[in-house]
Structure 1
Amino acid sequence: MEKTGYSMVQENGQRKFGGPPPGWEGSPPPRGCEVFVGKIPRDMYEDELVPVFERVGRIYEFRLMMEFSGENRGYAFVMYTTKEAAQQAIHMLDNFEIRPGKFVGVCVSLDNCRLFIGSIPKEKKKEEILEEMKKVTEGVVDVIVYPSATDKTKNRGFAFVEYESHKAAAMARRKLIPGTFQLWGHTIQVDWAEPEKDVDEETMQRVKVLYVRNLMISTAEETIRNEFSKFKPGAVERVKKLTDYAFVHFYSRDDAITAMHFMNGKSIDGSNIEVTLAKPVNKESSRRYSQKGQGSQNSEGFLFQNKDDGNPTTPTRPLSLPARLNSHHNPSSPEVERYVYPFLPGINLAAISMYSLKLGHFCSAVTHLDYYCNKNNWAPPEYYLFSTTSQDGKLLLIYRVVITATRSSFMPDKLCTLLEDAKELAAQNALWNLDCTFCGPTSLNSLSPPGTTSGNSLLPYGCRPYSYPSYPLSPALPLVNGSHVAQRLFISNQSPFF
């Protein structure tokens, strides 16, 4: 402080250095000037950190998150006076060896002003949702609602609520997060929406691909090509359609811009489409997003647009790990009968698909989630594995599940010691968030051949009763997946909590 002239205060679990710096006049720097720093050694403070980060540009404010013990919490936020300095910090200091063998991670940090609201009645219109959210929270600017892929008269069961500031969004989340708040008699799910992914202006100036959403599932790629070629035949290079959205590639950027203005809001097969420029992803960004499990990239190498990037992270209702998957068990449904029959010579076998079976044939949340995605014509769920270490030295595992078709991702609030348990719990959590009732399974102890009453001695090889030793997922636990970027999972939304 004596050296730099900056002030420093500690409040609300963080220590603020600067904000504003000495001699600063005018408003604070705009969005995009702040970076998140993770994996900071717990006994490292401003005297070591500030000199490193001020090398790339003038610091407006440095916020170090603190524990009651006096140690730091392993992460900080650095706001520079310019966006250029923030980008330079990411470029130069990401994976920087701040102490021998200790590497920090640096990535962009955005003030998130958007909440994800799940379990909304599907018949509600945008105007009704907007009016209701304004009644129960303050600072609402807009509500983003998307029609169902199969029935355009209904919404998809979720919405994104935009607030005037991060503070307003945080206050609204705090009010709604307990999990008991109801809208129209429904208990809603509330969490931070995924922050927007920034693509630099220079890159966007080269984009020749359009992102088209709100298509009918039945609309063919050839139909899209014909519609986008009407203003200039032969302008479209190729079309890639996935469920109810598509990417339209043009030979010329000028033709892409013209087509965007010409086609936005037009009707194709009875559905009004939205058309924007697609956001490309470089290889480094693609690697980071996939490692973080925030699957908003698709096989075309483009990010889904801002409005669709809002992803819930964890459920508001804590999940338990009982002897059966009770969080999706329907008491009114009959127990699944589990038997082992001998395979005798001469028995005829017919090849079938698991998707032709009924839900009663499944006792695994992982299988059920795969079945659920296929039933909705979605791509299979993607699982991203992360780990941390418990206080007693045990390796703890957790999966993040990404549903690319809905641009959503889910992570449970418990960690497991076994890989199979972690995956089953993650699938269970995703099903609960998707509001999909899971009927089953029965306890594996009930597995028995016909005519017997106890099957414990006849469990198939590798089977055992579901009994998950688990640990709560604390916000302070650093999650890793072989790279420093995994730790950013739980803090990229400007909050020390999910």
Structure 2
Amino acid sequence: MQKENKAAANGFGKSRSGNGNEAALLALMEKTGYSIVQENGQRKFGPPPGWKGPPPPRGCEVFVGKIPRDVYEDELVPVFEKAGKIYEFRLMMEFSGENRGYAFVMYTAKEEAQLAIKTLNNYEIRPGKFIGVCVSLDNCRLFIGAIPKEKKKEEILNEMKKVTEGVVDVIVYPNATDKTKNRGFAFVEYQSHRAAAMARRRLIPGTFQLWGHTIQVDWADPEREVDEETMQRVKVLYVRNLMISTTEDTIKAEFNKFKPGVVERVKKLRDYAFVHFFHREDAVAAMCVMNGKCIDGAIIEVTLAKPVSKESTWKQHFNDQMSPSSENLLGFPNKENGHQKSLGKPASLSVHLNGQHSAGPLEFERCTYPFFPGRKLTPISMYSLNSSHFSSAAVHLDYFCNKNNWAPPEYYLYSTTSQDGKTLLLYKVLIRSIADGSESSFMPNKLCTTVEDAKELAAQFTLLHL
């Protein structure tokens, strides 16, 4: 009777359009011994009965997208239990009683979460309805922009500790051309997602200043997680903080010093590079020896490169449609309040292609603001911005390639003639993965009459098929 009252209080009767789904949820509670509580727009199943100690560590949770709106825990939990013991299942709910199309599943071990991703991504939950499953991370890192470039790491760290709580570390990258300065932005690591969320709330209004500068604050893009089994096979090193003038030959010679002939090749882009080794054990040994060494006057950072798979986070998130009213065609779930964080291009990116609107929501509305004389302008890199600042697919593709440590996209223009004599254009896009040397090409199946439309269409097509 107590469980029935608890179920009714949590609004189970609203599910499935009021068709009495509370009976199925009560049966699930009776069978598993788990409790179900609804609060703050989400329904929580768990933790397991008799659980003692802290929650499972970071990396044990997966994100589930594209859930049909009339599917609930009684169908979902048995599916996800196949991968391992569930600590907590959080289904995002509408006030109407329907689910919001996505959920978070926390397992008791990281291996179970990885198995869920491998076995349940693209699982057919209903005939013709496939769910998406990918890693979910408690984002504990904030991006802080418009920082004075002369400020050192220690100064930034001390200042952030003064104005926010729970600061663990500050990550600052040297300027590519002047190593005595920073790049005008930093990443601040907090001890928990809650601490980061509270700091963001305090700093986000846009009026907060550090050293007399109004700073930019947003969630940092989560670091891509690669399973341990894959990382055990990596034999490529990622080298950061190189001088612009340092050549690939110099890098190869420096990394060959500790053991001649172990480096297969080097690929350098701007102030970072990938060093490929013939054998993994030599790559690991070189990483230990070379990290923190000086090359051409710059102190370098050396780590194992993270491979990029075809089933990349981009593709999974691009296909996750959270809700019909979602403002983002591409979203990454942000655990604060159960809302998603924009990671990609806005759904309003709807370009005109030969006078026709591409499929998608309302046309992008350009926002402009008056520029007053005397207003201070700060030089920044495009790659330090949040991706929501981009409305062009071509710019977004370039940004995405940079974030994944790929070479910039290469565009190859082709033409043909229509029946009425018009010149029709088409771009082929080539994407090279620097880390493993692979390359992929993408070519849309439509022609355009202008170069701009052709390039935008090719970029959109590439983003959809990466």
Task: State which of 368, 371, 378 in structure 2 corresponds to 1:326.
Answer: 368
Say whether the 8 Å CA contact 1:214–1:271 is kept in structure 2: yes
Which residue number corresponds to residue 87 of structure 1? 114
Say whether the 8 Å CA contact 1:382–1:401 is kept in structure 2: no
What is the alpha-carbon distance in structure 2 between the residues aligned to residue 271 and residue 150 of structure 1? 11
State the 1:403 CA deviation.
6.1
Which residue number corresponds to residue 327 of structure 2? none
Task: State which of 155, 159, 162 in structure 2 corresponds to 1:132.
Answer: 159
What is the alpha-carbon distance in structure 2 between the residues aligned to residue 271 and residue 289 of structure 1? 38
* Aligned-partner SS, 2:30: coil
Which residue number corresponds to residue 412 of structure 1? none
What do the CA deviations read for 1:280-324 (whole angstroms, capped 9, x no partner)?
A: 22332377379589xxxxxxxxxxxxxxxxx99589xxxxx9997
CA 1:21/1:177 → structure 2, altered by over 3 Å: closer, same or farther? same
What is the alpha-carbon distance in structure 1 between the residues aligned to residue 48 and residue 317 of structure 2? 37
* Aligned-partner SS, 2:239: strand
- 5 Å-filtered alignment, 1:193-342, equals 193-285=220-312, 288=315, 313=343, 326-327=368-369, 330-332=371-373
State the 1:181 CA deviation.
1.7
Task: State which of 3, 7, 31 in structure 1 corresponds to 2:35.
Answer: 7
Say whether the 8 Å CA contact 1:243–1:405 is kept in structure 2: no
* Aligned-partner SS, 1:159: strand
CA 1:249/1:159 → structure 2, altered by over 3 Å: closer, same or farther? same
Say whether the 8 Å CA contact 2:133–2:316 is kept in structure 1: no
State the 1:253 CA deviation.
2.0
Which residue number corresponds to residue 186 of structure 2? 159
The answer to whether the aligner puts 1:170 opposite 2:178 as a matched pair is no
Task: State which of 49, 54, 78 in structure 1 corresponds to 2:105.
Answer: 78
* Aligned-partner SS, 1:279: coil
The answer to whether the aligner puts 1:402 opposite 2:430 as a matched pair is no
State the 1:219 CA deviation.
0.7
What is the alpha-carbon distance in structure 2 between the residues aligned to residue 322 and residue 99 of structure 1? 34
Residue ranges of structure 1 left out of the alignment (5+ in a row): 294-310, 316-320, 334-368, 387-397, 409-460, 463-480, 486-498
State the 1:62 CA deviation.
0.5
CA 1:26/1:332 → structure 2, altered by over 3 Å: closer, same or farther? closer
State the 1:196 CA deviation.
2.1
* Aligned-partner SS, 1:195: coil
State the 1:266 CA deviation.
1.1
CA 1:42/1:324 → structure 2, altered by over 3 Å: closer, same or farther? closer
State the 1:331 CA deviation.
5.0
Residue ranges of structure 2 left out of the alignment (5+ in a row): 1-28, 321-340, 346-362, 375-379, 406-448, 451-462
Q: Which amino acid aligns with 2:260?
A: P
Task: State which of 43, 52, 71 in structure 2 corresponds to 1:25.
Answer: 52
The answer to whether the aligner puts 1:101 opposite 2:128 as a matched pair is yes
Say whether the 8 Å CA contact 2:390–2:396 is kept in structure 1: no
State the 1:400 CA deviation.
7.3
Root-mean-square deviation (CA, aligned residues, Å) is 3.6
TM-score (structure 1 length as normaliser): 0.61
The answer to whether the aligner puts 1:189 opposite 2:216 as a matched pair is yes
CA 1:242/1:325 → structure 2, altered by over 3 Å: closer, same or farther? same
Say whether the 8 Å CA contact 2:308–2:404 is kept in structure 1: no
What is the alpha-carbon distance in structure 2 between the residues aligned to residue 208 and residue 6 of structure 1? 45
Percent of pairs with identical residues = 72
What is the alpha-carbon distance in structure 2 between the residues aligned to residue 313 and residue 287 of structure 1? 9
Bigger RCO (CA 8 Å, 6+ sep): 1
Number of residue pairs aligned between Structure 1 and Structure 2: 337
* Aligned-partner SS, 2:154: helix
